[in-house]
Amino acid sequence: MDEVTFWYVIEQSIEAASAGDGEDLGPQVIALKRLLTQIEDVEELIVFQQILDQLMDQAYNWALWGAAYLMMGGLNDDEFEYFRAGLIMKGKEAYETSLREPDELAEFGLVVPCEELLYLACEVYEERSDDGAIYDRNTEKVNFEPSGDSFDEHDVDYFKEQYPRLWDLYGQE
């Protein structure tokens, strides 16, 4: 598995759940689990998880957190982790565009947090191999703190300036 295949699997889960309203990721999570279960080589599940971990790490930055904070009406570190997972569930275009310019999240609609994504490949791996070792592997975490400059959650002018489109949709004074 490579990153292209990773995004293909995510896109397939989006298509399989396309009848949903977009505010409930349950059908997409079920579809993704079914797709992961169809992967024959359990080592590919480990690679899927490694790619997910890398994407989560790349998205651990203050600019995206500020956008998420505005969209969600505030969020802590765990909630930002689930937000980033939900962003990945929206697909490659939403993910990459949002990393380049977080205000572009306005184009992709609400991001539904998705804690389940963080453990899905691990669950499938364990079900298939009866081995929970995937949970114990050493992951190479690059960002122990969000990259970039932090924001003051009470600075309304910052949010208006940095995220004008998101401010129009989600801002409150």
Each residue's pLDDT tens digit, 18-55 = 765 556 788 999 999 999 999 999 889 999 999 999 99
> pLDDT tens digits, residue range 129-163?
877 666 555 455 556 789 999 999 999 999 999 99
Query: Model confidence at 12, in pLDDT bands (50, 70, 90)?
Result: very high
What per-residue confidence (pLDDT) applies to 144? 77
Give Cα separations from 80 to 22, 59, 114, 166 (angstroms). 19, 10, 10, 17
Q: What is the mean pLDDT of residues 63-85?
A: 96
From first CA to last CA, the distance across the chain in angstroms is 46
Asked if 70 contacts 159 with a C-beta cutoff of 8 angstroms, the reply is: yes
What per-residue confidence (pLDDT) applies to 51? 96
What per-residue confidence (pLDDT) applies to 74? 93
Phi, psi of 160 (to 5 degrees): -65, -40
> pLDDT tens digits, residue range 85-136?
999 999 999 999 999 999 999 999 889 999 999 999 989 998 888 776 665 5
Q: Is the pLDDT of residue 173 over 90?
A: no
Give Cα separations from 2 to 37, 45, 50, 173 (angstroms). 17, 11, 10, 44
Region class of 113: left (phi > 0), else alpha (psi between -120 and 50), else beta? beta
What per-residue confidence (pLDDT) applies to 143? 62
What per-residue confidence (pLDDT) applies to 73? 93
Q: How far apart are the C-alpha atoms of 124 and 96, rounded to whole Å? A: 27
What per-residue confidence (pLDDT) applies to 129? 81
Q: How far apart are the C-alpha atoms of 141 and 54, rounded to whole Å? A: 8
Which residue type is seen at 6?
F
Q: Could you tell me the pTM of the whole model?
A: 0.91
H/E element, 6: helix 3-16
Burial class (CB in 10 A: 0-12, 13-18, 19+), 60: buried
Phi, psi of 61 (to 5 degrees): -140, 155
Q: How far apart are the C-alpha atoms of 134 and 153, rounded to whole Å? A: 37
What per-residue confidence (pLDDT) applies to 136? 57
